[in-house]
C-alpha cells in the first residue's frame, strides 16, 4: 500500500463529504464520525448522482438525486435497489486522512 | 548469579512488573529504579479523587520506601536519565552511570500540548502527575477563581469535575461535536453534557482554541469564533503521546511508540519496554488493564518463563461521582451490524448494544451501568447471544427463560404497574376505563390521562388495550416519520415544544430514537422543527439538509447547479441584467426565464458557485432561494403604476412582502403572488398565499396549488390596507411554520387543520401580533444572504476539491 496524505480530518464536516480527483474519476471521502472516514466512488450507479452531496447517516449515504442508499463499508446499495460503488482503503493518522494511491491506481488498470 | 536490572520510570506498569518479578524470584535481579518525579510508584489513575478531595496522596501510594528497601531496590528518584549507552550496557543518569544486564523502559507518555500562542504562560498546565494535581488544588484555593479545561475526553472531564468540586468556575472546551467522542456516541455524550451542566460546569463543544492570553500569567482563553473566556487556570488535556526520546536517541526501533514483541522485547534483545511508551502490533496503550497484562508477561519473560502479551477488549468508565457511563468494544454502526437501543428519558438512561452476527461487539451505556460487567463479559468471551437477543438489553436478570412475548409480558403486569409515568396512571386504571366503556386511545386519554402528556407510553397503553379488549381492538399502524422512531411528525413537533428540546441529540435521546443519528428522512425534518421553534438557541445543521439547501443552489441531473438571483417582486433593471449577462458569459451558463419572474443561470460547476455569487453580490443581487423549503418568489403584475385596470400598487406590495419574508425557512416551499385586479395576471389564485387587489382593498387567499395537485386558493380575509395584508400574510406563514408537518405544502396543512381553525386563530389581533413577533425573531437570524456568507474565503474553500491526484500522477 502507498498512503497519500489528502487532508486533515477536520477539513471534512462531520456527516459530510469532500472529493478527491483521481485519474479514474472523483473519489469521495465521507466522515461518518469524529475519527472515522470512508472512501468510495462519488458516482451513483443509478444515474450518476454525486454521492458526496448526499446525507450521511450512520455508515451510509443517501444519493441526492433519487435517494438510493449505499453502505460505505461494502459499497452495496441497500434495500430494494441493486448496485454497488467502489470503495477504497483509507485511514486516519495523527488527524490526517490517508488514501491508498495503489488501490486507486489498481482500480484504474482494472477499469 | 544475580543480574543487574535497571528500570527507567516508576509508573503503574513498572511497579506492577516489579511486584510480579519479586514474587516469582526475589533473588534473580539487583534492581535500580529511576524516576524523574521525586517519588516512587503511586496509583496515577487515582489522581482524580485526589484532585476532587475524595482521597489523599498517601492513600494512593502503591509502594513506599519500606517496600523498596525490603526488596533491595536502589531508588534514584528525582533524577532524569540522560541516555542509554547500548554498546557499554550502561544507563547514564544525571548523577552517574549504572550498568545493566537487562533494561526496562517504562517512560510512559507525555501530554500533548496544542501549539497555540500563550501555551507557555504561567497557569497553563497539563494533567499528568501529582505536581499537576497539586498545582490545580492550589489554583482552586483562590475564591472565585476560573478554570478553562481544554479537552473533553476522559482526563479533561475528570479534571473539570475535580476543580468544580473544589469551587472553581469551570468551562470545558471540546473541539468535537460531543464529549468523549472516542468512547461515547452522541446520545450518551448529550446526557453526559447535561449531567455536567447540572453540576455547574459549562461545556462548549466545537470550540477551537486560538490563543491563550495574558501577561506572564494566564488571564483568558481566546476561541476561533472570537469568544474570550476569563481564566486563572488552563488545563490542557487533549491527549497523550508515548515518551520515546531515550529510545529514539539509543536508536531502538520506534514507530509511534517503542516497538516491542509479545514478550515486550525491543529491537535490542537486552532491552524491554512496557506501558504507555510502547507500540505493539500497531496499538498504543492508555488504559491500565493492558498495562497490567504487560507487567505480568514481562516479569515472566525476565524470569525465563514463556508467556505472550495479547491485546484485549477494553472498557471505559469515567471516575466522576454520579456520572455513570460505560463503553466497551466497537460501537460504530456497520454493515451486518444491528443496534439495540434502549432509552428511558425519565431516568436519563441510554443503553446501546451493537450486535454483529450472533455476537455482541460493542456497548455504550449512560445512567444505568449496573449490568456493564456482564455485557463486557459477553464482548470479551464472544458469547453467542442469538438466544437471548430479544431481552438482551434488559440484562442478565431477564435471561434464561423462554423468549419473551411483549404482549404476554404486558398481560402479566400486575394491576398496580405504572404505565404512564407523567400522569401516574397504572394498568388497573386503564383496564377499569376500558371496562367502563372506553374503546379508543382518545377515550383512554380523556378518561385516565394515560399517554396524554409526553406520549412515549402510547405503545404500552395500546398493548394494554389490546390485551384487555382482545380482537375488539387493533393497534393502529403508527404514522411514524421513518424507521428511526414510532412517533409521528405531529407528536415530535409537539414534544419538541412541550419539553424544550433544543438539539438533535436531545430529540433522539428524549424521544427514544432507535438509530444512533437518524436518517435522510428524519434529519431534515427535525432540523427544520428545531430551527423553527428555537431560532435563537438552535444552530442550523448543514449536514441535515438536502444538497440544494446545503449548497444554496439547485443540483441538476449532470451534477452542475442552477443559480438564480432574487428579483424583488419580479422587478429588475439594466444594471442587474448586465451583471447576469456577464456572469452567464464568464461561467458558461445557459439562461432561462422562469415562471417565478426571474432568470435562471444553468450549468454552473460547484467549485464556481462562490465566485458567481460574489460577482452577483457585487452587482447588488442576493440569493433567490430557488432551492429552499422556504419563501421562493412573490410574483406580481405591473399594477396601478402602469396598467389601465390596476386598482392598487401590486408590484409595490409584492416587493414589501418579499423583503419581509425572504430567507425564512418553512416546512415546504412557499410561493406568493399579488395581482393588481381580478384579471389576475400574476396568477395569484393558485399560490400558497395569493393576494388580489380590488378597489376596496385586498383579498388574501391561501392554500392554492399548481403542481401535482391543482387547487384554487380559499379566501382567508379581506382587508383594507397594505399593512393589514402584510400582517395577515406573515401571521399565516408563521402559523404554518409552527404547526405543519415537514414537506406539507400549506394547502395540505390547511386541509388537515381546517381553514376555519386557521381563520379563527388569525382573527384574534393579539394572536396575529404574537405570530408576527415570533416571525421577526426568527428573521433576525435568517433574513441574511446565504450567498454572501458562503462566498467568504473560509467557506468557499469547502466547495473545492480537497485534493487533485491527477496532477501528481502526471508528474
- Say what the ipTM of the complex is: 0.90
The 8 Å CB, 24+ separation contacts for B797-802 are B798/A11, B798/A13, B798/A18, B799/B551, B799/B606, B799/B607, B799/B609, B799/B610, B800/B607, B801/A18, B801/A19, B801/A20, B801/A21, B801/A26, B801/B607, B802/A6, B802/A7, B802/A11, B802/A12, B802/A18, B802/A19, B802/A20, B802/A29
| Residue of B115, B803, B806, B807 to mutate, testing the A interface (most A Cβ within 10 Å of its Cβ) | B803
Q: Which of B295-304, B358-367, B478-487 has the lowest mean pLDDT?
A: B478-487
Alpha-carbon gap, residue B419 to B762, rounded angstroms: 38
Cell of B90: 550502561
Confidence of residue B456 (pLDDT cuts 50, 70, 90): low
The CA-CA-CA angle for residues B5, B6, B8, to 5°, reads 150
Confidence (pLDDT) at B688: 97
pLDDT over 90 at A53, yes or no? yes
Confidence of residue B520 (pLDDT cuts 50, 70, 90): very high
Alpha-carbon gap, residue B747 to B726, rounded angstroms: 19
CATH number of the domain residue A11 falls in: 2.102.10.10
**What are the phi and psi torsion angles at B578 (to 5°)?**
-65, -45
Q: Are B309 and B263 in contact, with CB atoms under 8 Å apart? A: yes
* Chain segment B60-97, per-residue pLDDT in tens: 888 888 899 999 999 999 999 999 999 999 999 999 99
Confidence (pLDDT) at B320: 67
Alpha-carbon gap: A38 to the closest alpha carbon of chain B (Å): 12
Domain count, chain A: 1
**What are the phi and psi torsion angles at B522 (to 5°)?**
-85, -30
Confidence of residue B418 (pLDDT cuts 50, 70, 90): confident
Mean predicted confidence (pLDDT) in B312-332: 74
Confidence (pLDDT) at B332: 72
Residues 6+ positions from B794 with CB-CB distance below 8 Å: none
Radius of gyration of chain A (CA): 13
Biggest CA pair distance of chain A = 39
Which among B335, B798, B806 has CB closest to A73? B335
Alpha-carbon gap, residue B589 to B602, rounded angstroms: 5
Alpha-carbon gap: A1 to the closest alpha carbon of chain B (Å): 16
Alpha-carbon gap, residue B420 to B478, rounded angstroms: 19
pLDDT over 80 at A1, yes or no? no
Alpha-carbon gap, residue B35 to B109, rounded angstroms: 13
Which among B333, B551, B802 has CB closest to A19? B802
The CATH H-level superfamily of B547-623 is: Sulfite Reductase Hemoprotein;Domain 2 (3.90.480.10)
The CATH number given to B406-476 is: 1.10.10.1100
Residue percentage of chain B with pLDDT more than 90: 54
* Chain segment B658-708, per-residue pLDDT in tens: 999 999 999 999 999 999 999 999 999 999 999 999 999 999 999 999 988
Residue B681 annotated in ligand binding: yes
Confidence of residue B184 (pLDDT cuts 50, 70, 90): confident
* Chain segment B32-69, per-residue pLDDT in tens: 999 998 888 888 877 888 888 878 888 888 888 889 99
Q: Are B331 and B364 in contact, with CB atoms under 8 Å apart? A: yes
Q: Are B682 and B650 in contact, with CB atoms under 8 Å apart? A: yes
| Residue of A64, A75, A91 to mutate, testing the B interface (most B Cβ within 10 Å of its Cβ) | A64
Mean predicted confidence (pLDDT) in B506-532: 92
* Beta-strand pair A3-8/A16-22: unpaired
Residues 6+ positions from B643 with CB-CB distance below 8 Å: B637, B676, B677
Mean predicted confidence (pLDDT) in B313-336: 74
Residue B426 annotated in ligand binding: no
DSSP letter, residue B634: E
Q: Are B511 and B501 in contact, with CB atoms under 8 Å apart? A: yes
Nearest chain A alpha carbon to B185: A33
The ranges assigned to domains in chain B are 3-110+242-302, 113-238, 324-404, 406-476, 485-537, 547-623, 653-782
Q: Are B680 and B667 in contact, with CB atoms under 8 Å apart? A: no
Alpha-carbon gap, residue B553 to B563, rounded angstroms: 6
Confidence (pLDDT) at B312: 74
Residues of A in contact with B543 (CB under 8 A): 13-16, 55-56
Residues of B in contact with A29 (CB under 8 A): 802
Residues of A in contact with B555 (CB under 8 A): 50, 53, 64-65
Higher pLDDT, B807 or B277: B277
Domain limits for position A60: 3-110
Average pLDDT for chain B: 89
Alpha-carbon gap, residue B548 to B552, rounded angstroms: 6
Touching check for B519 and chain A: CB below 8 Å? yes
37-66 of A, contacting B, C-beta below 8 A:
47-50, 53-60, 62, 64-65
Q: Are B176 and B206 in contact, with CB atoms under 8 Å apart? A: yes
Confidence (pLDDT) at B56: 84
Cell of B222: 481566546
Confidence (pLDDT) at B335: 73
Between chain A and chain B, how many beta carbons pairs sit less than 8 Å apart?
A: 111
Touching check for A92 and chain B: CB below 8 Å? no
Q: Are B774 and B734 in contact, with CB atoms under 8 Å apart? A: yes
Residues 6+ positions from B668 with CB-CB distance below 8 Å: B629, B740, B742, B743, B744, B745, B746
User: Is the domain covering B3-110+242-302 a CATH 3.40.50.300 domain?
Assistant: no
Q: Which of A43-57, B59-73, B219-233, B613-627 has the lowest mean pLDDT?
A: B59-73
Residues 6+ positions from B141 with CB-CB distance below 8 Å: B166
Touching check for A2 and chain B: CB below 8 Å? no
How many CB atoms lie under 10 A from the CB of residue B295? 25
Touching check for A24 and chain B: CB below 8 Å? no
DSSP letter, residue B403: P
Residue B75 annotated in ligand binding: no
Within 13 Å and on the Cβ side, how many CA atoms surround B286? 15
Give the burial string for B682-711 (b: 16+ CB within 10 Å, else e): bbbbbbbbbbbbeeebbbbbbbbbeeeeeb
pLDDT over 80 at B807, yes or no? no
Q: Quickly name the fold that domain B324-404 has.
A: Enolase-like; domain 1 (3.30.390)
Nearest chain B alpha carbon to A50: B559
Confidence (pLDDT) at B453: 55
Residue percentage of chain B with pLDDT more than 70: 95
Confidence (pLDDT) at B160: 92
Confidence (pLDDT) at A106: 54
The CA-CA-CA angle for residues B487, B492, B497, to 5°, reads 155
Alpha-carbon gap, residue B152 to B158, rounded angstroms: 9
The CATH H-level superfamily of B653-782 is: Sulfite Reductase Hemoprotein, domain 1 (3.30.413.10)
DSSP string, B12-42: HHHHHHHHHHHHH-TTSEEEEEEESSSS--B
Alpha-carbon gap, residue A38 to A19, rounded angstroms: 11
Confidence (pLDDT) at B53: 81
Mean predicted confidence (pLDDT) in B739-746: 92
Instruction: Tell me the range of B103-112, B375-384, B575-584 where mean pLDDT is highest.
Output: B575-584
Alpha-carbon gap, residue A52 to B799, rounded angstroms: 11
Q: Are B752 and B744 in contact, with CB atoms under 8 Å apart? A: yes
Alpha-carbon gap: B804 to the closest alpha carbon of chain A (Å): 5
Choices 3.30.2270.10, 3.90.1570.10, 3.10.270.10, 3.50.50.60: CATH for B113-238 = 3.50.50.60
Higher pLDDT, B477 or B672: B672
pLDDT over 90 at B376, yes or no? no
Mean predicted confidence (pLDDT) in B328-333: 76
Q: Which of B113-122, B289-298, B412-421, B496-505 has the lowest mean pLDDT?
A: B412-421
* Chain segment B229-272, per-residue pLDDT in tens: 999 999 999 888 899 999 999 999 999 999 999 999 999 999 99
Confidence of residue B141 (pLDDT cuts 50, 70, 90): confident
3-class DSSP assignment, residue B243: coil
Alpha-carbon gap, residue B294 to B281, rounded angstroms: 14
Confidence (pLDDT) at B400: 52
Touching check for A100 and chain B: CB below 8 Å? no
Amino acid at each position: 500500500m502507498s498512503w497519500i496524505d489528502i487532508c486533515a480530518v477536520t477539513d471534512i464536516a462531520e456527516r459530510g463529504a469532500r472529493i478527491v480527483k483521481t485519474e479514474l474519476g472523483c473519489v469521495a471521502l465521507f466522515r461518518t464520525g469524529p475519527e472515522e472516514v470512508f472512501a468510495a466512488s462519488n458516482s451513483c450507479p443509478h444515474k450518476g448522482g454525486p454521492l458526496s452531496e448526499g446525507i450521511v447517516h450512520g455508515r451510509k449515504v443517501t444519493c441526492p438525486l433519487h435517494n438510493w442508499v449505499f453502505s460505505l463499508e461494502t459499497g452495496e446499495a441497500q434495500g430494494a435497489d441493486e448496485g454497488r460503488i467502489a470503495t477504497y482503503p483509507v485511514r486516519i493518522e495523527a488527524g490526517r486522512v490517508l488514501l491508498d494511491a495503489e488501490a486507486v491506481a489498481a482500480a484504474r488498470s482494472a477499469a | 548469579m544475580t543480574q543487574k536490572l535497571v528500570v527507567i520510570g516508576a509508573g503503574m506498569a513498572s511497579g506492577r512488573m516489579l511486584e510480579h518479578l519479586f514474587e516469582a524470584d526475589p533473588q534473580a535481579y539487583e534492581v535500580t529504579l529511576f524516576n524523574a518525579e521525586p517519588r516512587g510508584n503511586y496509583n496515577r489513575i487515582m489522581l482524580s479523587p485526589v484532585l476532587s478531595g475524595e482521597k489523599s496522596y498517601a492513600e494512593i501510594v502503591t509502594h513506599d520506601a519500606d517496600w523498596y528497601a525490603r526488596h533491595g531496590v536502589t531508588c534514584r528518584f528525582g533524577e532524569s536519565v540522560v541516555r542509554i549507552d547500548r554498546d557499554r550496557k550502561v544507563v547514564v543518569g544525571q548523577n552517574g552511570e549504572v550498568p545493566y544486564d537487562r533494561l526496562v523502559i517504562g517512560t510512559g507518555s507525555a501530554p500533548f500540548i496544542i501549539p497555540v500562542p500563550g501555551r507557555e504562560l504561567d497557569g497553563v498546565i497539563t494533567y499528568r502527575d501529582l505536581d499537576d494535581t497539586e498545582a490545580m488544588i492550589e489554583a482552586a484555593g483562590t475564591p472565585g477563581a476560573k478554570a478553562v479545561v481544554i479537552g473533553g475526553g476522559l482526563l479533561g472531564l475528570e479534571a473539570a469535575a475535580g476543580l468544580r468540586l473544589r469551587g472553581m468556575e469551570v468551562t470545558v472546551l471540546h473541539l468535537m461535536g460531543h464529549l468523549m467522542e472516542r468512547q461515547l456516541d452522541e446520545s450518551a455524550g448529550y446526557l453526559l453534557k447535561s449531567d455536567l451542566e447540572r453540576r455547574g460546569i459549562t461545556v462548549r463543544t466545537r470550540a477551537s482554541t486560538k490563543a491563550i492570553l495574558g501577561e506572564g500569567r494566564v488571564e483568558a482563553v481566546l476561541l476561533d469564533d472570537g469568544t474570550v473566556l476569563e481564566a486563572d487556570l488552563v488545563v490542557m488535556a487533549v491527549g497523550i503521546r508515548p515518551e520515546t526520546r531515550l529510545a529514539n536517541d539509543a536508536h531502538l526501533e520506534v514507530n509511534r511508540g517503542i516497538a516491542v514483541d509479545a514478550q515486550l522485547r525491543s529491537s535490542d534483545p537486552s532491552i524491554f519496554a512496557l506501558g504507555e511508551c510502547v507500540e505493539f502490533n500497531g496499538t498504543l496503550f492508555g488504559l491500565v488493564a493492558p498495562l497490567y497484562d504487560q507487567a505480568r508477561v514481562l516479569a515472566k519473560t525476565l524470569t525465563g518463563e514463556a508467556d505472550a502479551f495479547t491485546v484485549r477488549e477494553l472498557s471505559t468508565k469515567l471516575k466522576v461521582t454520579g456520572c455513570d457511563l460505560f463503553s466497551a468494544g466497537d460501537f460504530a454502526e456497520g454493515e451486518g451490524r444491528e443496534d439495540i437501543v434502549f432509552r428511558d428519558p425519565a431516568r436519563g438512561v441510554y443503553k446501546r448494544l451493537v450486535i454483529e452476527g450472533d455476537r455482541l461487539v460493542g456497548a455504550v451505556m449512560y445512567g444505568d451501568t449496573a449490568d456493564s460487567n456482564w455485557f463486557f463479559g459477553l464482548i470479551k468471551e464472544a458469547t453467542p447471544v442469538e438466544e437471548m437477543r430479544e431481552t438482551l438489553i434488559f440484562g442478565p436478570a431477564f435471561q434464561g427463560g423462554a423468549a419473551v412475548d411483549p404482549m404476554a409480558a404486558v398481560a402479566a403486569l400486575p394491576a398496580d404497574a405504572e404505565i404512564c409515568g407523567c400522569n401516574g396512571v397504572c394498568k388497573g386504571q386503564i383496564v377499569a376505563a376500558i371496562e367502563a366503556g372506553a374503546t379508543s386511545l382518545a377515550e383512554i386519554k380523556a378518561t385516565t390521562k394515560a399517554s396524554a402528556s409526553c406520549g412515549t407510553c402510547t405503545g404500552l397503553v395500546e398493548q394494554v388495550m389490546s390485551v384487555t379488549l382482545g380482537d375488539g381492538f387493533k393497534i393502529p399502524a403508527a404514522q411514524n416519520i421513518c424507521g428511526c422512531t414510532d412517533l409521528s411528525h405531529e407528536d415530535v413537533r409537539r414534544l419538541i415544544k412541550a419539553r424544550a428540546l433544543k438539539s438533535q441529540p436531545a430529540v433522539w435521546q428524549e424521544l427514544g430514537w432507535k438509530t444512533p443519528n437518524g436518517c435522510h428522512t428524519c434529519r431534515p425534518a427535525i432540523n427544520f422543527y428545531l430551527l423553527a421553534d428555537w431560532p435563537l438557541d438552535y444552530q442550523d445543521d448543514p449536514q441535515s439538509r438536502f444538497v440544494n439547501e446545503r449548497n444554496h443552489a439547485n443540483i441538476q441531473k449532470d451534477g452542475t447547479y442552477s443559480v438564480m438571483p432574487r428579483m424583488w417582486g419580479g422587478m429588475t433593471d439594466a444594471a442587474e441584467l448586465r451583471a447576469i449577462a456577464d456572469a452567464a458569459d464568464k461561467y458558461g451558463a445557459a439562461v432561462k426565464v422562469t415562471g417565478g419572474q426571474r432568470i435562471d443561470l444553468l450549468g454552473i460547476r460547484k467549485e464556481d458557485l462562490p465566485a458567481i455569487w460574489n460577482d452577483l453580490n457585487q452587482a447588488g443581487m442576493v440569493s433567490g432561494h430557488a432551492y429552499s423549503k422556504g419563501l421562493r418568489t412573490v410574483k406580481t403584475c405591473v399594477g396601478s403604476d402602469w396598467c389601465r385596470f390596476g386598482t392598487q400598487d401590486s408590484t409595490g406590495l409584492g416587493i414589501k412582502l418579499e423583503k419581509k419574508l425572504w430567507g425564512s425557512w418553512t416546512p415546504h416551499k412557499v410561493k406568493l403572488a399579488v395581482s393588481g385586479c381580478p384579471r389576475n395576471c400574476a396568477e395569484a389564485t393558485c399560490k400558497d398565499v395569493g393576494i388580489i387587489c380590488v378597489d376596496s382593498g385586498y383579498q388574501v387567499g391561501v392554500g392554492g396549488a399548481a403542481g401535482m395537485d391543482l387547487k384554487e386558493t380559499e379566501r382567508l380575509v379581506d382587508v383594507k390596507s397594505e399593512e393589514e395584508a402584510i400582517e395577515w400574510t406573515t401571521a399565516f406563514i408563521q402559523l404554518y411554520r409552527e404547526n405543519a408537518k415537514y414537506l406539507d405544502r400549506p394547502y395540505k396543512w390547511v386541509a388537515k387543520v381546517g381553514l376555519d381553525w386557521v381563520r379563527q386563530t388569525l382573527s384574534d389581533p393579539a394572536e396575529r401580533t404574537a405570530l408576527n413577533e415570533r416571525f421577526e425573531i426568527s428573521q433576525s437570524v435568517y433574513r441574511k444572504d446565504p450567498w454572501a456568507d458562503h462566498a467568504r474565503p473560509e467557506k468557499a474553500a469547502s466547495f473545492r476539491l480537497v485534493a487533485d491526484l491527477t496532477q501528481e500522477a502526471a508528474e
